[in-house]
Structure 1
Amino acid sequence: MPSIADTHIVNRERVQPTHANNYQSAHGGIVMKWMDEIGAMSAMRAARASCVTAQMSRVDFERPIPIGDTALIESYAYATGRTSVRVRIEVAREDPHTGDTEETTSAYATFVAIEDGEPTPVPELTADSEESQRLRETALAEEPDRE
């Protein structure tokens, strides 16, 4: 069984002028693309299969990421269903000179494992370390209401 820690991914993207909106900061759609890609990678590690995005909820844009800064995208799977994987995704702006970070964007997403074009069962996630338990508790505490 995969561990929550096995699904924890951190990636960086340098914000270039081609990523920018009219305000010289990362366009929200570009940031969401990066979030979706890294979130899917976490989901695939959890599912041990290819995954597609089923939904993304409560995407909160708290502050911009200026051109020249680095977008630090972090994701991890924290829960599974029969064929689904729930993922927490957070983005921070990082000063490339100092490494100082500031949270900018966050979201929850659900991915579905797919095999031969059909949903396929996923293994249960384990929280076998203090870090895994902390990640799961944080995600569950902040998770939007589920129906």
Structure 2
Amino acid sequence: MTDLMETLIENREMVQPNHANVLEVAHGGHVMKWMDEVGAMSAMRFAGETCVTAHVNRMDFERPIPIGDTAYITAYVYEAGTSSVKVRLVAEREDLRTREREKTTESYFVYVAIDEDNTPTQVPELTVDTDEEERLRRIALEGENGDR
């Protein structure tokens, strides 16, 4: 069994001109890629296996991330099936000079754990023992169902 907090991954990507669209903000495809990578890390930390993306729930782009800011991405596992792992992902724009952050993007990804033959393999049970873990899980379940 793995605690929810053990799956928490946080990462930053500096938005460079080569990541930007014509509006000089991060292209949505780059943000999605960064989120997918961090989500896979969280799923693999949980499963102890290689995990591949199986499904992306709606992706809400609420505000842009300008060149020079960072995309601060947080991911954690909030539910697991037999071989599937659900991960909540939130991207924020962060100004490193002021430390100001704003949520920009949120989504819910499903990964599948695979073995060395690329066959789905069993994942452990997710444990939620603390009030903070329960709070994070509740937020994810509500968001996944559109109750934001």
TM-score band by shorter chain is over 0.9
Give the 3-state SS of the residue equivalent to 2:2 in structure 1: coil
Give the 3-state SS of the residue equivalent to 1:58 in structure 2: coil
Give the 3-state SS of the residue equivalent to 1:76 in structure 2: strand
Corresponding residue of 2:127: 126
Corresponding residue of 1:104: 104
Please give the TM-score of this superposition, normalised by the length of structure 1: 0.96
Corresponding residue of 1:8: 8
Distance in 1, Cα, partners of 2:123 & 2:70? 33
> Following TM superposition, where does structure 1 have runs of at least 4 consecutive aligned residues deviating by more than 3 angstroms?
none
Give the 3-state SS of the residue equivalent to 2:126 in structure 1: coil
Displacement of 1:144: 2.9
RMSD (Å) for aligned C-alpha atoms? 0.9
Displacement of 1:128: 1.7
Query: How many residue pairs were aligned?
Result: 145
Distance in 1, Cα, partners of 2:33 & 2:65? 15
Structure 2: any 5+ residue segments left out of the alignment?
A: none
The 8 Å contact of residues 57 and 144 in structure 2, kept in 1 or not, is answered as no
Please give the TM-score of this superposition, normalised by the length of structure 2: 0.95
Identity, % of aligned pairs? 57
Distance in 1, Cα, partners of 2:130 & 2:46? 16
Corresponding residue of 2:141: 140
Structure 1: any 5+ residue segments left out of the alignment?
A: none
Corresponding residue of 1:36: 36
